[in-house]
Amino acid sequence: MQAEITYTRDTGEKLVNETFGPNNIRRRSSGMEERHRVDIADGREARDLALDGNGFVLVEHRTAMHDFFDAAELKRVYYPEVQNLIGQVAGAQRVVVFDHTLRSGDEAEREAKLVREPVLSAHNDYTEWSGPQRVRDLMGAEAERLLERRFAIIQVWRAIADPIRSNPLAMADARSVDPQDLLVAERRYPNRVGQTYRLKYNPAHRWFYFPQMKRDEAIVFKVYDSAKDGRARFTPHTSFQDPATPPGAPPRQSIEARSLAFF
């Protein structure tokens, strides 16, 4: 399939992403974006995708969640599910699930439930600097000791309502991304400042997606790995407008959970 991916042009301008408003659901950013038509392969037909090789993998994962918009149920039920899943898929000795983001393609629902919209811009959530900094932010007195060993930041993305018919998630094969393609963007929150990567266009990028994802499937992907031994470290990703989306398709509902994984 061919579709447009939104990239960021490298103009030398300082890139800034900022969230604000109730529950940080509002977003603004600087920089010049550009769209490129690219091939996006069906990941369901790729049998050899691997977390350490490509940076992402699709897994079957049943959840006991009833209401993903119930914050208490998420902490009680979903966070332990994600913790166990990442331990199994990544082989981590310790997993700390530290936050999540709910997204909806429906503006009225976003306003009513204070959730964010799908991000139609290729990015990676952490950088060479902000990955270790997140450990320092979250792990207190343990942080420096934990940073002495390998760790990764791993995310789990899934549909809340299935199947996903609009704005699916596209994943860049980490092996196809040159470090020079990653542009640092300052990430401003009300209480702290972090960093993310925006993605500059490179025709070598290889993109995958998983059509019509169901509620009991999940994409597990790495957005940071401290190991520099050839395994995937950063996995840019983005929502995109699927030309096969039928008219009247329901807006996307999804959740991504973020975790620190220590090895």
pLDDT digits (tens, 9 = 90+) for 93-139: 999 999 999 988 766 666 566 577 888 999 999 999 999 999 999 99
Question: What pLDDT does 11 receive?
Answer: 95
pLDDT surpassing 70 at residue 167 = yes
Paired residues of 19 in beta bridges: 27
**CATH number of residue 169's parent domain:** 2.60.120
Closest-CA residue to 197 (of 227, 222, 220, 167): 222
pLDDT single digits (tens) 181-198? 999 999 988 888 889 999
Residues in the chain: 263
* Mean pLDDT across 239-250: 93
- The reported pTM is 0.94
Query: Which tens digit of pLDDT belongs to each residue from 46-81?
Result: 989 999 999 999 999 999 999 999 999 999 999 999
The whole-number pLDDT of residue 104 equals 82
What pLDDT, on a 0 to 100 scale, did the predictor assign at position 231?
Answer: 98
Which residue range is the domain that position 144 belongs to?
Answer: 2-262
Residue 151, H or E segment:
strand 151-159
Counted domains in the chain: 1
Helix (H) / strand (E) element for 144: namely helix 143-146
